[in-house]
Amino acid sequence: MVIENIGILAGIVPEGVLRKEGAAQGETGLLENAWLRIKDGRIAAFGPMSTLPCSDSEESLDADGGLVMPGFCDSHTHVVYAGSRDGEFLDKINGLSYEEIAARGGGILNSSDLLHRTSEEDLFHQSIVRVKEMMDKGTVAMEIKSGYGLNPADELKMLRVIRRIGQTVPATVRSTFLGAHAVGRGYTHEQYVQTVINLIPQAAEWADFVDVFCDEGFFTVEDTARILEAARGLLVPKIHANELAVSGGVQVGVQYGALSVDHLERTTDAEIEALKGSITMPTMLPGSSFFLGLPYGRAKDYIKAGLGVALASDYNPGSSPSGDMRFVMAQGCIKMRLTPVEAFNAVTLNSAYAMGLSGELGSVTVGKKASLILTRPGWDLTKIAYQYQTPFIQQVIL
């Protein structure tokens, strides 16, 4: 199939570029008035309209001047959850902090109780509604975490549901074992850390990554190191770090070869230094800053230091009840002062990298999966972030 009359083809990146760092984060390949050929679900070729080889036998799609870009890659979500936490919304409005809500038995433990009472079948059906909502909004690849099970049976139930979602939808799904999200009910802290460690070999049959909520009041750097040590060779780390406090999570993540360290609402220059020269993608989640009223991550400083930055939604019932990656991109610009192209790279190539998928997704590159967004006529990357609530999608191609 050929897409013709593309107003702007955006996100063209040479083969082999797996992430954009430093000044390169502010650059992307653009081609005006273009065509793009899809063969066997992959990008086969593209070029300016003046070079379109004519073929009567090939199916064509008229883009009508719309922009074509790689679909959003959402490298950090918790979309598999049961029920809702809208009951805590009022507490939050009335001024309770995330930590205070959690300390009252709300928060993650509330979701874990709900999940325990929800059948696997029901959990799948509740979750896939959110996954489809994300796909309608242009997300073509997503990472989904466990972490509301908090005991072996329920954690494995979540991981099975995540796998089933990946087998059901055309979007690419990566799976993360986040047993260490909070201490499960009925365990002491130490018993629970040991339970997570013991579960790793089984979790590794279902998941790609291991995550730890390394933050004040949750898991320490020492807990994190023990868990990552046990996961060595089985699961690649992706760490929740520095959301509630400067936690040391970035440094321990880098030390264990984490593919990403995520949140980073609270970081000092030491975290930026620790990330230099590493394989780890600093990933920020502006949706949680927005919802919880936390500081926004220092994305611009990371880029100035020569690093790349990814942005993801963190879609979850407690700190970011939205999987809208276009809104994430807009907040990257409005609140974190990224340029539209920096934010665009953060929600496409760099977030694909943070899931180990940037060889397959995240840019317009011959050979990559043709998982694309076709916009309505007249859109460009700046407008997508600037006019952030006007419907812009004509079609999501998966």
Q: Give contact residues for Fe ion (rule: CB under 5 A).
A: 314
CB 11 within 8 A of CB 69: yes
CB 317 within 8 A of CB 43: no
Q: What is the spatial distance between Cα 385 and Cα 9, in angstroms, rounded to a whole number? A: 17
Q: How many residues does the chain have?
A: 398
State yes or no: residue 127 binds ligand NIG (CB under 6 A): no
Question: How deeply is 383 buried, as exposed, middle or buried, from its count of CB atoms within 10 A (0-12, 13-18, 19+)?
Answer: middle
Please write down the long-range contacts of 14-19, taking CB distance under 8 Å and 24 or more positions apart: 14/365, 15/365, 15/366, 15/367, 17/349, 17/363, 17/365, 18/349, 18/353, 18/358, 18/359, 19/281, 19/308, 19/349, 19/350, 19/353, 19/358
Smallest gap from Cβ 245 to ligand NIG, in A, equals 12
Closest among 203, 124, 120, 200 to 167, alpha carbons compared: 124
Residue 102 Cα to chain centre, angstroms: 24
Q: Which residues of 94-105 are buried (b: 16+ CB within 10 A; e: fewer)?
A: eebebeebbeee
> Angle at the Cα of 63 (from 132 to 324), degrees rounded to 5?
30
State yes or no: residue 253 binds ligand NIG (CB under 6 A): no
Closest CB to Fe ion belongs to which residue?
Answer: 314
Q: Which stretch binds ligand NIG (CB under 6 A): 21-29, 192-200, 312-320, 369-377?
A: 312-320
Among 21, 243, 271, 342, binds ligand NIG (CB under 6 A): 243
Q: What is the spatial distance between Cα 294 and Cα 319, in angstroms, rounded to a whole number? A: 10
Three-state secondary-structure class, residue 346: helix
* Positions in 338-397 near ligand NIG (CB under 6 A): none
State yes or no: residue 237 binds ligand NIG (CB under 6 A): no
State yes or no: residue 219 binds ligand NIG (CB under 6 A): no
- Phi and psi of 12, rounded to 5°? -75, 125
Among 7, 70, 149, 318, binds ligand NIG (CB under 6 A): 318
> Tokens standing for 378?
């007249």
Which of 283, 348 has the CB closer to Fe ion?
283
Residue 235 Cα to chain centre, angstroms: 18
Residue 319 binds which entry of ligand NIG, Fe ion, none, CB below 5-8 Å type-dependent: ligand NIG
* Positions in 106-125 near ligand NIG (CB under 6 A): 107-108, 111
Residue 108 binds which entry of ligand NIG, Fe ion, none, CB below 5-8 Å type-dependent: ligand NIG
State yes or no: residue 319 binds ligand NIG (CB under 6 A): yes
Which of 36, 102 has the CB closer to ligand NIG?
102
Which of 216, 360 has the CB closer to ligand NIG?
216
Smallest gap from Cβ 319 to ligand NIG, in A, equals 3
Q: Which stretch binds ligand NIG (CB under 6 A): 103-111, 153-161, 224-232, 334-342?
A: 103-111
Q: What is the spatial distance between Cα 188 and Cα 236, in angstroms, rounded to a whole number? A: 26
State yes or no: residue 213 binds ligand NIG (CB under 6 A): yes
Q: Which stretch binds ligand NIG (CB under 6 A): 37-45, 313-321, 372-380, 389-397?
A: 313-321
Which of 78, 130 has the CB closer to ligand NIG?
78
Which of 67, 108 has the CB closer to ligand NIG?
108
Which of 83, 359 has the CB closer to Fe ion?
83
State yes or no: residue 289 binds ligand NIG (CB under 6 A): no
Smallest gap from Cβ 87 to ligand NIG, in A, equals 13
- Phi and psi of 180, rounded to 5°? -85, 65
State yes or no: residue 238 binds ligand NIG (CB under 6 A): no
What percentage of the chain's residues is helix, strand, coil (to nearest 5)? 35, 25, 40
Smallest gap from Cβ 23 to Fe ion, in A, equals 29
Smallest gap from Cβ 31 to ligand NIG, in A, equals 37
Contacts with ligand NIG, residue ranges (CB under 6 A):
78, 107-108, 111, 213, 240, 243, 288, 314, 316-319
